[in-house]
Amino acid sequence: PPDVAYSAPEPLPLVQTSRDSGRWYVIIDTKTHGERLFFLDSGYARTTCDDDFVDELGLDTAGLVFVRGIGGTLIASKAKLPTLHAGGHEISDFACIVRDLNQTSSIKDPLEVAVAGVIGADLLSRFVTEIDTARGDVRLIEPSRTQPLTGTDVIPLRRAGRAGTRFLVAASIAGTS
């Protein structure tokens, strides 16, 4: 997991793109690399960077990572990201999976801006993540700053099994769990 220097949370605007009006993206002002658009997906186990974003930053890629999805398995690599500033926090010592999102996922670049990557559970799990579509933002809150959250609008993520990066979400739909 990444190292996080926590600070007061700053809202990350939620947006939808011209090519994807049914899912949420966040705008992250990385400070050193400007504002970037990331798909927000707590179901992605590992944060993923588009290969064009990694090339633009001049990052080296290394290693082999097997990414398993509904369409099968593909081979990707990893890149260590420079320090990012997201939601008021400084995130460092963080690697992302590198792949061509336009070719290997349902995430397509809209006309207005390229998608830099996917924010996954490996990053979100370092925070209490508050998603408020009515307010139109996401807040990444330092876990020690919050009381234990309960209620019907709180979904705790739990690890699937004893190890690994996959998460489970408990749900009850029409009385069936």
123-141 pLDDT, tens digit each: 998 998 888 999 999 999 9
Amino acid identity of residue 60, one-letter, is D
The alpha-carbon radius of gyration of the chain (Å, integer) is: 16
Q: Report pLDDT for 169.
A: 55
Write the CB contacts of 136 (distance below 8 Å, at least 6 apart in sequence).
Answer: 13, 14
The two tokens of residue 102 are 């336009």
Residue-wise pLDDT for 77-104, tens only, equals 999 999 989 999 999 999 999 999 998 8
Tell whether the model's pLDDT for residue 177 goes beyond 80: no
Residue 51: which residues within 8 A CB-CB, separation 6 or more?
Answer: 98, 99, 100, 101
Mean pLDDT of the chain: 85
